[in-house]
Amino acid sequence: MSDPDSSVRRVRTRFAPSPTGLLHIGGARTALYAWAFARHHDGDFILRIEDTDLERSTPQALRAILDGMAWLGLAHDEGPYYQTQHMDRYREVIAQMLQAGTAYRCYCTKEELDAMRTDQEARGLKPRYDGRWRPEQGKALPTPPEGLPAVVRFRNPQGGSVAWNDMVKGLIEVSNEELDDLIIARSDGTPTYNFCVVVDDWDMRISHVIRGDDHVNNTPRQINILKALGAQLPEYGHVPMIHGPDGQKLSKRHGAVSVMQYDEDGYLSDAVVNYLARLGWSHGDDEVFSREQFVQWFDCAHISRSPARFDFAKLAWLNNHYLKAMDDARLAALVAPRLAARVAGLGAPAAAAMDLAAICGLAKDRAGTLNELADFATMFYAEPHLHAEQLAEHLKPEARPALRGFADICGTIDWTSEAISAAIKQTITEHKLKMPQFAIPARLLVFGRTQTPSLDAVLALMPREVVIHRLAQGIAHAM
């Protein structure tokens, strides 16, 4: 156990996405790290949906988060909790803070705040709230204007600094002079973002906050509020962003698409998890490891301090590794629906006549994705569409008697790749052809394409009658 605090406090981490956009690869990695940390310490992993931004939250984004988490296999122990269901609790804490004097009402109008800002900028100062409604000992506050709504501000400590030992970045210290009195409730009473996070982290007894480093500026504010509430502070770990291969911010073009898009594109969730685990975290030179191994090894100390770079080629390499390692029958079960989507009217009888597992087994060494496997398998299930020009180009008159002869032999031999291979050799010797002169038109007639793996191997996976029928039909067609 590398984190000293974990022996003291039960480890509870959370993933807290806002359902305002799809769960993309960056969010998924944050979720994975928070999940692995909890699992590593036999703790709890909590899913919390930060849905207070009603205008930007959508049911589609929520669905994408839940589906994405399920697909990645990141099961939560508690939740999903929804912040919109905690509004009463946030209001209660705001009332308590007003009571305790750690928060206060501010009646500044927008015009006043604008004027404050303009004035500060004109004097070359950093714009900030000037504390005019902040209660101080011996200070006379203005009289609250009647009928004007107030926001509630947190009474941020003055002087000193906030420091925490970030699990990823090391010691971070921010002077309280840098921090304004943050608005924690808007004039309509709704709580603001940072405040909801604080109350939930407190109520949910979160011990370790692992999140993207786009939140690092929120942390000192959140720590100050937690302290004001008398809450035990969590540890914080801020994970650097993922960049595109060009070092730019990750965009759609770089793979910052919904996690479910990776499923659609034919990546295995094990490969994506392995890839994300390694993207910005390391365990020596290990590149390929299971979830269990990752959970056992994971610690925040080995999260890289600099941004990671997304590398599609490496993801494809890993995916191929997992495809190769997968049992053919399991692979076939994953390929089957993708095949059905490619072959119109693929019925059960046609599917049953073919050994999809063996087809996958033949192609998996070279396949980058499940979709590539499905594309390959299509040639066994779809009727070939032969074009006259193709036939003219590849089915030369000298090959026809050989193909006819071969079709006859096919009716008599064992239907194995060895016997088929022997039959092919016998045929080309008899007809004095070179292998491509025979194999290319044979492929075209049977599979509708001129390139396949070894001809004997693919023919052996096709029912014998189909091979004989297609050869005969193709030759007749070409006449």
Which spans of this chain sit near ligand GLU (rule: CB under 6 A)? Answer: 16-18, 50, 197, 211, 215
Dihedral, CA of residue 284, residue 286, residue 291 and residue 293, to nearest 10:
-60
Query: Which amino acid is present at 95?
Result: A
Residue number with CB closer to ligand GLU (27 or 441): 27
Handedness of CA 352, 353, 358, 363 (dihedral sign): negative
What separation in angstroms does the CA of 352 have from each of 48, 319, 377, 425? 45, 28, 13, 30
CB of residue 25 vs ligand GLU: minimum separation in angstroms?
Answer: 14
Give, in degrees to the nearest 5, the angle at Cα 86 between 26 and 39.
Answer: 45
Beta pairing class for 242-243 and 308-309: parallel
CB of residue 212 vs ligand GLU: minimum separation in angstroms?
Answer: 6
Residue number with CB closer to ligand GLU (17 or 280): 17
Instruction: Find out whether 161 and 187 touch, Cβ atoms under 8 Å.
Output: no
Residue number with CB closer to ligand GLU (233 or 422): 233
Instruction: Find out whether 181 and 155 touch, Cβ atoms under 8 Å.
Output: yes
Handedness of CA 276, 279, 285, 287 (dihedral sign): positive
Distance separating alpha carbons of residues 436 and 281, to the nearest angstrom: 49
Question: Residue 123, exposed/middle/buried by CB under 10 A (0-12, 13-18, 19+)?
Answer: exposed
Match 């502070």 to its residue by tokens: 233
Residue number with CB closer to ligand GLU (52 or 369): 52
Distance separating alpha carbons of residues 387 and 403, to the nearest angstrom: 18
Cα–Cα nearest to 179, from 233, 243, 132, 225: 225
CB of residue 35 vs ligand GLU: minimum separation in angstroms?
Answer: 13
Residue number with CB closer to ligand GLU (41 or 221): 221
Residue number with CB closer to ligand GLU (215 or 309): 215
Residue 310: half-sphere exposure toward Cβ, Cα within 13 Å: 20
